[in-house]
Amino acid sequence: MEKVKNREQAVEVLQEIGRTLYQRGLVNGAEGNISLRAGDGTVYISARGSRLGALRPEDVAHITTDGQAAEPGPEPTSEYLLHTLVYESCPELGVVLHTHSPHATAVAVNRENVPPLIDEMTILLGGGIGVAPYAAPGTMELAQGAAQGLRERKGVLLANHGAVVGGTDPADALKLAGLVEQACRVFLLAKGGGTVHTIPPEAFERQREIYEKKRGR
């Protein structure tokens, strides 16, 4: 997908992302925050306190990569640092989604890394899903944990908080957000049913090569 060139396009894309996340049960109420990188390098991001499932034009802030207002409008989410630092650290990413989906949040509370259980995890996410150390919402420490996690994988859990995924475009990011939630659900179910068996090492290496090519590395 071509990057957005103006506010109207950005609002439409973010509204569709928010609706989809809500319909899939990945966010609820004022949980989570979403953003996209525009063609000029600035960031359109959900505003503080906005409801992603019913995002209005006035719920979209426009900021520079250092967090300053790119145009008059609402304040960005208090976790804007998470988004801007991810974009700075991962220039190939164009969309960042932070969700509080239930199974991903449960695993984040357990603070357990999810090993590569299903093929899609390695091919699309890059492997297992790690848990970044606990940090208070809105802090630079939280942003750094998310950015560090997304340098190697396209999804990371935030301890006692939720999940973050980075996609090349909206469709990619939405697919990854759903995959993180599904992988965490499978992990919890597998743990309850007995031994958790991971993808064999030789298969993991082949799948990781596919991931690296997809990410352009």
- Does residue 1 lie in a domain region? no
The pLDDT of residue 214 is above 90: no
- Does residue 170 lie in a domain region? yes
| DSSP track, 4-39 | P-SHHHHHHHHHHHHHHHHHTTS--TT--EEEEE-T
12-51 burial code (b ≥16 CB/10 A, e <16):
ebbbebbebbbeeebbbeebbbbbbbbeeebbbbbbbebb
Chain-wide mean pLDDT for the chain?
A: 96
Strands, E, within the chain: which ranges?
A: 33-37, 43-46, 60-63, 95-99, 131-132, 155-158, 162-167
- Does residue 66 lie in a domain region? yes
Percent of all residues in the chain with a pLDDT value above 90, rounded to a whole number: 94
Closest by CA position to 156, among listed 98, 85, 215: 98
- Does residue 2 lie in a domain region? no
Q: Residues 11-39: what's their mean pLDDT? A: 97
CATH number at residue 153: 3.40.225.10
Number of domains in the chain: 1
Q: What is the pLDDT of residues 127-152, one digit of tens each?
A: 999 999 999 999 999 999 999 999 99
Q: What is the pLDDT of residues 44-102, one digit of tens each?
A: 999 999 999 999 999 999 999 999 999 999 999 999 999 999 999 999 999 999 999 99
- Does residue 28 lie in a domain region? yes
- Does residue 109 lie in a domain region? yes
Range of the domain at 66: 7-214
- Does residue 205 lie in a domain region? yes
Q: Is the pTM of this model over 0.75?
A: yes
The pLDDT of residue 1 is above 70: no
